[in-house]
Amino acid sequence: MTFFETYQTELITSLFTLIFLFIIRLISKKVIHKIGKKTGINDARIQLISRYSTVTLVLIALLVETFIFGAQLKDLALVFSSVFAVLGIALFAIWSILSNITSGVIMFFSFPYKVGDKIQIHDKDFPIEAIIEDIRAFQLHLRLDNGNLVTYPNNLMLQKAVTLVEKDAMDEGTDAI
């Protein structure tokens, strides 16, 4: 018997599963793009969130494929417990990076400020009043009135009180020229 004859059912099921997940990927990409455009988010952030959703779907596809080809839950539990033990140690070392990425995803869907807005961050140790120049995966780029560039971590943006001082200050500044 050949490989295809032996695993015919599994291969057909895998094909339908991959087609289904590919359709979900297309729909999620379209929804993310639509939400991003509707809320005025720049294309780089839309692409970043789209990549995050694609990676999540690939991981789901790998998990589903292992079940299709006959892996038992107890076998996967052993593999995942070993992998998560190693990842847990590694992720503990880089928790701040992960919190910034998570904050970046949250900010994509519910951040009330846009590039060009002038904001004030109410931090008792280092208060900032600046224009949002760019919103990235890990941090915001803020331009101070004196021209200095400040990178501010995304997770702190969600922890601190922020006030909108001036809507789209960059456009209004260029109109005066």
Alpha-carbon distance 42 to 44, whole Å?
6
Alpha-carbon distance 135 to 144, whole Å?
15
160, two tokens: 């601190």
- pLDDT at position 20 is 93
- pLDDT at position 25 is 93
Tell me which residue of 57, 70, 76, 50 sits closest to 17, measured CA to CA.
57
Strand locations in 16-138 (E): 118-122, 128-135
Alpha-carbon distance 127 to 143, whole Å?
13
- pLDDT at position 1 is 67
- pLDDT at position 173 is 47
- pLDDT at position 175 is 44
- pLDDT at position 26 is 94
Q: What angle do CA 102, 156, 50 make, to 5 degrees?
A: 25
What tens-digit pLDDT sequence spans the chain (177 residues)? 688 788 888 889 999 999 999 999 999 999 999 998 888 888 888 888 899 899 999 989 988 888 888 878 787 788 778 888 887 777 776 777 788 888 888 888 888 888 889 999 998 888 899 999 988 888 899 999 999 999 999 888 888 888 988 887 655 544 443
Per the CB < 8 A criterion, the answer to whether 140 and 154 are in contact is yes
Alpha-carbon distance 93 to 5, whole Å?
47
